[in-house]
Amino acid sequence: MITAPYWRAPVSVTRVMGWVLLALIPAIVLHVIFFGPVLLAQLLLASVAAVAVEALLLWVRRRPVVSAITDLSALVTAWLLVLALPATVPWWLTLLGIVIAIGVAKQLYGGIGQNPFNPAMVAFAALIVSFPAELSRWPLPTTPVAWQWASFLGTPNVDALASATVLDTLRTAVHSGQAVSELLGRSPVFGTLSGAGYEWIAVAFLAGGLLLWLRGIIPGRLPFAFLLTLGVLSTLAWLVAPERFAPPWVHLFAYSTMLAAFFIITDPVSGVVTPRGQWVFAAGAALLVFLIRHFGQFPDGVAFAVLLMNLAAPWIEMKTQPRVFGEDHP
Amino acid sequence: MNGHGTIANELGVNGLWKQNPALIQMLGLCPTLAVSTSFVNAVSLGLATVVVMMIASTAVAVLRHVIPREIRIPVFILIIAGLVTVVDLLMNAYFHSLYLVLGIFVPLIVTNCIVLARVEAFAAKNRPDYAGLDALMMGLGLVWVLALIGAIREIIGQGTLFAGIEWIVPSWSAITLFGETSRGFLLAMLPPGAFIVLGFLVAAHNALTAWQKARTKKRTLAASAPAAPTPVGGEA
């Protein structure tokens, strides 16, 4: 039993960002084991570019450079963007994404703490509307590393060695009249639960996210509400029309689901801080993800869902202010 | 410089730079954003707007003592709509392919608020020659911004410049930059691209104005030198 007074450990941006980077490492290690070292080159390129763009824009805006680039926030954005993109996208696409994320979505809006939208998701959305083909070619565990390097370097090559994500594959097939059960397990895209290889990286995201939750870096209700809502919705849809909708485990263990649940919607700047509002924010994001995945045009709905909820965040916060002790009920 | 020249000069500076309809007044953004996917589209719609604005402003200034004040807006709109119909038919006849591309945005010049704004704010109160000059300068202010947005979006979005020029001068063709294999950054061609490019241009305009102001202030403080001449658009 510890008695008061307590001494609180100082919480700094650098510390929080450092923990987030650490929590991403299991997923990165598994990614390298399954798909080879191309991801490391992407991470290196994105990290260097992110710090360079951040430093350049801070210098242009006459803001302190060193304290802002040593807070690791640019690295978190860079790593999240790289992990959201297929590891085999050409280098210039990653670079362009970093310029949009750090340059436009973060610094032009006023730098850390000022951005209304999640920078990594802004960049992802800009890239997916502009380069849909590049962003729907995900490497498979069987994709040769040499091909992945060629793709990263942007040399023209056949694109038969990579494929769409599980959800994208399923949706395309359902749209062309095939049943889900005909597809599950019959294509190299599928693993045990969801995408081959990617399902285990999703588990690593889950593990890293639980670490962040235990350390008190992220509130547990955000990923919980997100996964719960997505799970309930996909279960209901699957029970009603099993031939049209993917089973819930495919949704929940999809790579982008776990990344979003623990690392994207938990962004405190573009998200919601009121406790009740966080339930609304996460559940709303999950609902939009489900709708966009099934009825949308693009391979995955996470980026658009998060951006739409970012737009709604100030309003959600306004409507969910906690009652101050002693204040009357409205 | 006599009084007439000074007024003409001021009208020019205001239309092209200080009160630029696209960058400062933010009027007529619907065509600015919708049609500026290429240089040729942007400039053609801009020039059509200039023609309408000039004739409408001059006509309203001539008739300004005849038009009853209470019903002036319907009368202005009638004059503008008549002129737009003429421009619409002419474009359909002489530049048919271009007309098909611009589509609804040619008839929509009627509702372009910059046209009515200049008529109501300036032409209805001033001499016809000034009204015509004001409309021309405001229109050209819109055209150069439209041209710049169109060129930027076209270069970034599809890697060409002057695409569609063959609709106007059949022997000319578009310039392809960065080689045949390059693909453009599609975002620039999509609606958000228009807002983003316009945002950057407005920011650049603000930065230039701020820089100019700071420089003028510094000079005035250093010595009682005359105010710095306007660097852009001032040579009227």
Q: Is residue B230 part of a domain?
A: no
CB-CB under 8 Å, B186 with A126: no
Are both A109 and A214 inside the same structural domain?
no
Question: How many domains, in total, are found in chain B?
Answer: 1
Residue B176 has pLDDT above 80, yes or no: no
What is the predicted pLDDT for the residue at A50?
95
Between CA B52 and CA B83 the distance in angstroms is 6
CA neighbor of A48 nearest in space, from A106, A94, A117, A108: A94
Q: Is residue A49 part of a domain?
A: yes
Q: Is residue B231 part of a domain?
A: no
User: pLDDT grade, residue A46 (50/70/90)?
Assistant: very high
Q: Is residue B68 part of a domain?
A: yes
Q: Is residue B59 part of a domain?
A: yes
Q: Please identify which residue in the block is written with the tokens 């040769």.
A: A144
Where b means 16+ CB within 10 Å and e means fewer, B137-166 reads bbbbbbbbbbbbbbbbbbbbbbbbbbbbbe
pLDDT tens per residue across span B87-103:
999 989 988 888 888 88
CB-CB under 8 Å, A130 with B186: yes
The arithmetic mean of pLDDT across residues A230-256, rounded, is 90
Residue B233 has pLDDT above 50, yes or no: no
Where is average pLDDT lowest: A77-81, A83-87, A242-246, B163-167? Answer: B163-167
Between CA B21 and CA B5 the distance in angstroms is 22
What is the predicted pLDDT for the residue at A86?
92
Q: Is residue B228 part of a domain?
A: no
Between CA A218 and CA A263 the distance in angstroms is 9
Q: What average pLDDT does chain A have?
A: 87
Q: Residue A22 corresponds to which amino acid?
A: L
Are both A228 and A281 inside the same structural domain?
yes
Residue A240 has pLDDT above 80, yes or no: yes
What is the predicted pLDDT for the residue at A179?
74
Q: Indicate the helix (H) or strand (E) that contains B171.
A: none
What is the predicted pLDDT for the residue at A140?
85
Q: B184 to chain A: nearest residue by CA?
A: A130
Q: B203 to chain A: nearest residue by CA?
A: A108
User: pLDDT grade, residue A32 (50/70/90)?
Assistant: very high
Domain termination site, one of A163, A184, A199: A163
Chain A residues touching residue B186 (CB < 8 angstroms):
129-131
What is the predicted pLDDT for the residue at A156?
59
What is the predicted pLDDT for the residue at B236?
38
Query: B117: domain range?
Result: 3-176+184-222
Closest-CA distance of chain B to residue A165, Å: 23
Q: Is residue B147 part of a domain?
A: yes
| B220 Cβ contact partners less than 8 Å away, ≥ 6 residues apart | B227
Chain A residues touching residue B158 (CB < 8 angstroms):
none
pLDDT tens per residue across span A277-298:
999 999 999 999 999 988 887 7
Are both A177 and A152 inside the same structural domain?
no
What is the predicted pLDDT for the residue at B122?
87
DSSP string of B17-38? IIT-TTTTS--SHHHHHHHTTS
User: pLDDT grade, residue B104 (50/70/90)?
Assistant: confident
Ranked by mean pLDDT, which of A283-292, B153-162, B216-225 comes out on top? A283-292
pLDDT tens per residue across span B22-53:
888 788 777 778 888 888 888 888 888 899 99
pLDDT tens per residue across span A305-319:
999 999 999 999 999
What is the predicted pLDDT for the residue at B179?
61
Q: Indicate the helix (H) or strand (E) that contains A222.
A: helix A221-240
Are both A145 and A203 inside the same structural domain?
no
Q: What average pLDDT does chain B have?
A: 83
CA neighbor of A293 nearest in space, from A195, A203, A169: A169
Chain B residues touching residue A96 (CB < 8 angstroms):
185
Question: How many domains, in total, are found in chain A?
Answer: 2
Question: Cβ distance B233 to B17 under 8 Å?
Answer: yes
The arithmetic mean of pLDDT across residues B133-154, rounded, is 90
- In a 10 Å sphere around its CB, with 0-12 CB exposed, 13-18 middle and 19+ buried, how is residue A222 labelled? buried
Chain B residues touching residue A104 (CB < 8 angstroms):
196
The arithmetic mean of pLDDT across residues B127-142, rounded, is 90
Chain A residues touching residue B187 (CB < 8 angstroms):
126, 129-130
User: pLDDT grade, residue A80 (50/70/90)?
Assistant: very high
Are both A157 and A271 inside the same structural domain?
no
**B202 reaches A (C-beta below 8 A):** no
- For residue A71, the SS3 value is coil
Q: Is residue B201 part of a domain?
A: yes
Q: Is residue B232 part of a domain?
A: no
What is the predicted pLDDT for the residue at A95?
95
Domain termination site, one of A134, A163, A192: A163
Residue B180 has pLDDT above 60, yes or no: no
Closest-CA distance of chain B to residue A129, Å: 7
What is the predicted pLDDT for the residue at B223?
67
Distance of CA A198 to the CA centre of its chain: 13
Residue B226 has pLDDT above 70, yes or no: no
Query: A74: domain range?
Result: 13-163
The arithmetic mean of pLDDT across residues A18-43, rounded, is 93
User: pLDDT grade, residue A250 (50/70/90)?
Assistant: confident
Domain termination site, one of A135, A163, A191: A163
What is the predicted pLDDT for the residue at A329?
62
Q: CA geometry: angle at B203 spanning B197 and B208, to 5°? A: 125
**B185 reaches A (C-beta below 8 A):** yes
Are both A313 and A192 inside the same structural domain?
yes
Are both A152 and A35 inside the same structural domain?
yes
Question: Cβ distance A301 to A289 under 8 Å?
Answer: yes
